[in-house]
Amino acid sequence: ESVLTQSPGTLSLSPGERATLSCRASESVNSAYLAWYQQKPGQAPRLLIYGTSTRATGIPDRFSGSGFGTEFTLTISRLEPEDFAVYYCQRYGSSPRYTFGQGTKLEIK
């Protein structure tokens, strides 16, 4: 089973700063099938990035994704107050078809 490990577990930053979130896979992931989600308390996850680097509809351009193989990154260039949330990476593959990372909590410093 392919495992996704996100780091750090918690990231404390201030509005206006740059956030870099990591997602490492135990097996190589097809870049077309790596996605990122944002989840706020009491809400469903929201798709941010799919295909490693394509922003979903309505997602601001301060969010960007990159990576290849087993190392993927979500970058938020300048944090806005509404960006503080939990972020999950997700990969599509086989057995199981989808797995998620354990999440990175982005909190206000």
Partner 1 sequence: QVQLHQWGAGLLKPSETLSLTCAVSGGSFSGYYWNWVRQPPGKGLEWIGDINHTGYTNYNPSLKSRVTISMDTSKNQFSLNLSSVTAADTAVYYCARGQIGDFDSWGQGLLVTVSS
Q: Between 26 and 45, how does the x/- string for binding to partner 1 read (CB under 8 A)?
A: ------xxxx-x-----xxx
Q: Are strands 19-29 and 63-76 parallel, antiparallel or unpaired?
A: antiparallel
The Cβ-side half-sphere exposure at 78, using a 13 Å CA radius, reads 3
C-beta of residue 11 within 8 angstroms of C-beta of residue 17? no
The Cβ-side half-sphere exposure at 94, using a 13 Å CA radius, reads 1
The Cβ-side half-sphere exposure at 1, using a 13 Å CA radius, reads 10
Comparing CB distances to partner 1, the nearer of 46 and 62 is 46
Contact segment (CB under 8 A) with partner 1 among 7-15, 62-70, 77-85, 100-108 equals 100-108
Contact segment (CB under 8 A) with partner 1 among 18-26, 65-73, 77-85, 97-105 equals 97-105
Q: Between 76 and 95, how does the x/- string for binding to partner 1 read (CB under 8 A)?
A: ------------x-x-x--x
Summarize as ranges the residues that interact with partner 1 (CB under 8 A): 32-35, 37, 43-47, 50-51, 56-57, 88, 90, 92, 95-103
